[in-house]
Structure 1
Amino acid sequence: MATPSTWSAPTSRDVVFGFGAHSVIGDTPTLLEMTQLADREKLDLFSLSDHPYIGQRLDAYATVGFVIGRTQHLAGFANVSNLPTRPPAMLARTVTTLSALSGGRVVLGMGAGGLWERIADMGVEPLSPAEAVEAFEEAIVLTKKLSGGGPPVTFQGRHYRVSQIDPAPVPAPPVWTGSVGPKSLAATGRVADGWIPGHAADWLSPRYRASRPVVDEAARSVGRDPREVRTIFNFPGQITARPLATTRDRDGRWIGGDVGQWVEELTGAVVEHGASGFMLFSPRGGTPDLASLGAWAGQIAPAVREAVAKHVG
């Protein structure tokens, strides 16, 4: 097992780079090779989707724990946790344990739950959309209460309850959500630390432009600075050997380009639109190939960091 390092949770001034995977059990050797490459190249994060009703998929939290035990720098998270199948009091124990073992190299991704027909197949009582969002906000509040030490916690929510439970003596990891609807976005603004726009929406998309103000207004309504809620983008695209004539399709969605075009696009996203991080996915939204990950980690991420530093310096 790798010796735990101290991974600094990102601040509002940092830009994080990672990659996302939708890995089945047969992909294990490739996933481990990719995470080792990402760790050597000092990427910040890797993520796994969390669909426990798919038997072929690697379990997100078992895999995150295994990988961060074999790496020195890389942090992991479920993008995002399937909350209805993972009770928040137990989820708090999981992430604080991972944080303690790894020196803080974990992020807690949270979602209200999609694919409810499959979630119900796992024996979970279905919730209405409004109830699911209410439970989602309660869960974020409860997981934070069960972190960071202090007196025993009693929490009496509508959906989750604990009585006289000692919080872990470990700070809560950053909580990033995958909120989409207005009620869920507002909950993100009130209680979360980061937001991953749904459907791979980026900073130029109508979805982002309509959604981010909801997050910001909800943050202000409880006395928070909206900048405390970072925006991290799941960002699919191809990395090409030569420049593309156009980097976006007729609908405005990012296609990709060569290293220089990626660097220009992402630098602009940070400097002009306040982006806080990027998770690379393949052009079809799946796990990127090893060559693309190498270019992302070894060329694009360092160049964007350098370009952003010049702008802010």
Structure 2
Amino acid sequence: MADKLQFGIAVTPTAGDVAGMTALAHDADEAGLDLIAVQDHPYQPGHLDTVTALAHLGALTTRVRLLTDVADMALRPVPMLAKAAASLDVLTRGRFELGAGSGGFPDAVAAMGGNAVRGGAAVEFTAEALRLLRAALDAEGPIAMDGRHHRIGGYEPGPAPAHRVPVWLGAQGPRMLGLIGELADGWISPLNVYVPPAEVPAKQDLIDDAAARAGRDPARVRRLYNVLGLIGGSHRGKGLFGSAETWAQTLAGWAQGLRFDTFVFWPAMAERDQLQRFAQEVVPRVRELTE
């Protein structure tokens, strides 16, 4: 688990607004946030490639960490995803974290010629992928696997990352949550509108139980919540809406009661203004409430 709460901002890789995307990342770096999180939906024609976008943002920032939220392994061969992650970590001097998933939209994946996996096959695919990622990122090779979904003939991984790159898994199903406890460094929960707070405790328990069965300390598995909403104003909708104090009290409650150690803010609108309010009004207050 992280030593202290971590806070980040979601940056959409919009091809039509590269200046806006870049400005938001720069603001996050300057404001002292911990993470820039970039979604990965390559089948969206208006989206840039996420790895390429993160390389661009990494070159223009100095301290904020970079996270794929989450990389689609059904469209990205795992050895090449590990290669990209290690390369980004080297280029950003140890600021990259890898969030990965099995591909949440298999029909869209199949339309791009990807390896669309569903159900039990997706769980098997992800278990193999997590083992491959860890071995490749540790760069201790040679690596070989004769799995059902991944057949790797033996190769020397590298380059070695600048630091141990954490591998998070984005998931919500029971068997996938079990893989997090067994094999991953952290859980990336889908947005709060898809996994509402009331559903979180049972999912956390599944991760804890699997970690204990695997001989791991459940407290070492990090937990990230993607939070959609808006700070201030009269706008209402699905997500978290309210004053900065409402946000602070809510996130502090989720940290203490739901055991999240990382929050990524997905502003419903006015991203740059919302980022400043989050960094200046919400984050310090959450830290005060949770000390």
For the criterion TM > 0.5, the same-fold answer is yes
Q: Aligned partners of 2:239, 2:252: CA distance in 1, in Å?
A: 14
The one-letter code matched in structure 1 to 2:167 is: V
Root-mean-square deviation (CA), in Å? 2.3
Q: 1:116 aligns with which of 90, 106, 122?
A: 106
Q: 1:90 aligns with which of 53, 67, 80?
A: 80
Q: Aligned partners of 1:226, 1:138: CA distance in 2, in Å?
A: 21
CA shift, 1:17, in A, is: 0.5
The one-letter code matched in structure 1 to 2:246 is: Q
Q: 1:167 and 2:157 equivalent?
A: yes
Q: How many equivalent pairs are there?
A: 289
Q: Decide which moves more: 226-235 or 126-135.
A: 126-135
Q: 1:128 and 2:118 equivalent?
A: yes
Say whether the 8 Å CA contact 2:201–2:258 is kept in structure 1: no
Greater share of strand residues, 1 or 2? Answer: 2
CA shift, 1:163, in A, is: 2.9
Q: Would the alpha carbon gap of residues 165 and 288 (structure 1) be closer, same or farther in structure 2, given more than 3 Å must change?
A: farther
CA shift, 1:201, in A, is: 5.6
Q: Aligned partners of 2:28, 2:167: CA distance in 1, in Å?
A: 22
Q: 1:274 aligns with which of 252, 255, 259?
A: 259
Q: Which residue of 1 aligns with 2:242?
A: 257
Q: Aligned ranges for residues 39-118 of structure 1 at < 5 Å?
A: 39-118=29-108
Q: Aligned partners of 1:114, 1:293: CA distance in 2, in Å?
A: 27
Q: Which residue of 2 aligns with 1:301?
A: 283
The one-letter code matched in structure 2 to 1:126 is: A
What TM-score results when the alignment is normalised by the length of structure 2?
0.91
| Runs of 4+, deviation exceeding 6 Å | none
Deviations, residues 242-276 of structure 1 (Å, cap 9, x unaligned): xx8xx998xxx753222222222222222333220
Q: Decide which moves more: 176-185 or 33-42.
A: 176-185
The percentage of aligned residue pairs carrying the same residue is 29
Q: Aligned partners of 1:231, 1:29: CA distance in 2, in Å?
A: 31
Deviations, residues 161-220 of structure 1 (Å, cap 9, x unaligned): 223322322244111111111111111111111112234269972321221111111111
CA shift, 1:239, in A, is: 0.7
Q: 1:181 aligns with which of 156, 168, 173?
A: 173
Q: Would the alpha carbon gap of residues 33 and 125 (structure 1) be closer, same or farther in structure 2, given more than 3 Å must change?
A: closer
Q: Which residue of 2 aligns with 1:6?
A: none
What TM-score results when the alignment is normalised by the length of structure 1?
0.85
Q: Would the alpha carbon gap of residues 185 and 23 (structure 1) be closer, same or farther in structure 2, given more than 3 Å must change?
A: same
Structure 1 stretches lacking a partner, 5+ long: 1-10
Q: Aligned partners of 1:248, 1:211: CA distance in 2, in Å?
A: 27
Q: Which residue of 2 aligns with 1:26?
A: 16
Q: Would the alpha carbon gap of residues 288 and 227 (structure 1) be closer, same or farther in structure 2, given more than 3 Å must change?
A: farther
Q: Would the alpha carbon gap of residues 68 and 32 (structure 1) be closer, same or farther in structure 2, given more than 3 Å must change?
A: same
Q: Helix, strand or coil for the counterpart of 2:74?
A: helix
Q: Aligned partners of 1:289, 1:87: CA distance in 2, in Å?
A: 33
Deviations, residues 117-152 of structure 1 (Å, cap 9, x unaligned): 111111124333211121112111101101223342
Deviations, residues 46-73 of structure 1 (Å, cap 9, x unaligned): 1121111122111111001110111011
Q: Helix, strand or coil for the counterpart of 2:36?
A: strand
Q: 1:291 and 2:291 equivalent?
A: no
The one-letter code matched in structure 1 to 2:176 is: S
Say whether the 8 Å CA contact 1:24–1:56 is kept in structure 2: yes
Q: Which residue of 2 aligns with 1:148?
A: 138
